């Protein structure tokens, strides 16, 4: 089954109207592969602005975080309904920075995921191990635990994209080799098959998200279970176009 190549750009807490306009215009003007889906995830204040700049059908916009309720007394949180209302289609949930810096646990992330999907958003669901967990040899155990929390809540995985992001590789310049990523992604697909069935496992896109950049993405090109990338810092740079076109 052919899975559409998927590239997410997580701007994190970076950007201005000027820089975001430059990023989107580069993509609008570039010749992009037809078989690629691009999701740009700017900081929340720029969601509507970013969506207004996009000129290509294959490019959409996503939020970096949402809450478990549509509205109410939740100061500082992002509502899925409001995110959708300003033109976004996706949300990143479970990112390692939300797990580690903001202490979001598996259960809360799973609840956020279910609510976002129920409201009609697509979810980029992030999983991955820390350096200590990698050294301890428990990478797959950690990923399985994080996935199982979502599996317990989510029954329809049509609009879920899984992003494997080794925490030790984010922002460090380190990255898993393409071979290592393929092995882990294949194991994750087997887990999805065991829990959700072969059809869901084969349909679900699994992205690599550990310091993917213009220099290393070509090495992933022939990896059958690497269906794209969740890109951090490189999504702010001109090389992001090369990453989007790395399967051309």
Instruction: Judge whether 103 counts as a catalytic residue.
Output: no
Contacting residues for 232 by C-beta, under 8 A, at least 6 apart: 10, 12, 170, 171, 209, 211, 212
d(CA 97, CA 86): 25
Q: Are strands 228-231 and 5-10 parallel, antiparallel or unpaired?
A: parallel
Structure tokens at 166: 């080794």
Q: Are strands 59-63 and 90-93 parallel, antiparallel or unpaired?
A: parallel
d(CA 169, CA 147): 20
Q: Determine the longest span between alpha carbons in the chain, in angstroms.
A: 48
- Catalytic site residue from 95, 97, 111, 185: 95
- Residue 235: left (phi > 0), alpha (psi -120 to 50), or beta? alpha
Residue 226 near residue 178 (C-beta atoms within 8 A): yes
SS3 string, 112-169, reads HHHHHHHHCCEEEEEECCCHHHHHCCCHHHHHHHHHHHHHHHCCCCCCEEEEECCHHH
- Catalytic site residue from 104, 144, 165, 185: 165
Instruction: Judge whether 165 counts as a catalytic residue.
Output: yes
SS3 string, 54-96, reads CCCCCEEEEECCCCCCCCCCCCCCCCHHHHHHCCCCEEEECCH
Name the residues annotated as catalytic.
95, 165
């Amino acid at each position: 089954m052919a899975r559409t190549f998927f590239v997410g750009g997580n701007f994190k807490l970076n950007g201005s109207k000027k820089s975001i306009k430059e990023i989107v215009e580069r993509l609008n003007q570039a010749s992009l592969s037809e078989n690629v889906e691009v999701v740009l995830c700017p900081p929340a204040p720029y969601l509507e602005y970013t969506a207004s700049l996009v000129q290509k059908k294959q490019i959409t916009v996503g939020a970096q975080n949402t809450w478990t309720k549509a509205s109410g007394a939740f100061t500082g949180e992002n509502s899925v309904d409001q995110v959708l209302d300003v033109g976004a289609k996706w949300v990143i949930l479970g990112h390692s920075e939300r797990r580690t810096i903001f202490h979001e646990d598996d259960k809360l992330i799973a609840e956020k995921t279910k609510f976002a999907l129920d409201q009609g958003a697509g979810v980029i669901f992030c999983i991955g191990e820390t350096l200590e967990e990698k050294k301890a040899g428990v990478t797959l155990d950690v990923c399985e635990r994080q996935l199982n929390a979502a599996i317990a809540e989510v029954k329809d995985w049509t609009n879920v994209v899984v992003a494997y992001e080794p925490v030790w590789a984010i922002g460090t310049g380190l990255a898993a080799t393409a071979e290592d990523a393929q092995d882990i992604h294949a194991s994750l697909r087997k887990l999805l098959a065991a829990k959700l069935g072969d059809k869901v496992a084969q349909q679900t896109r699994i992205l690599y998200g550990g310091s993917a950049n213009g220099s290393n993405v070509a090495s992933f090109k022939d990896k059958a279970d690497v269906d794209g990338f969740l890109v951090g810092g490189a999504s702010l740079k001109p090389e992001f176009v090369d990453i989007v076109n790395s399967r051309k």
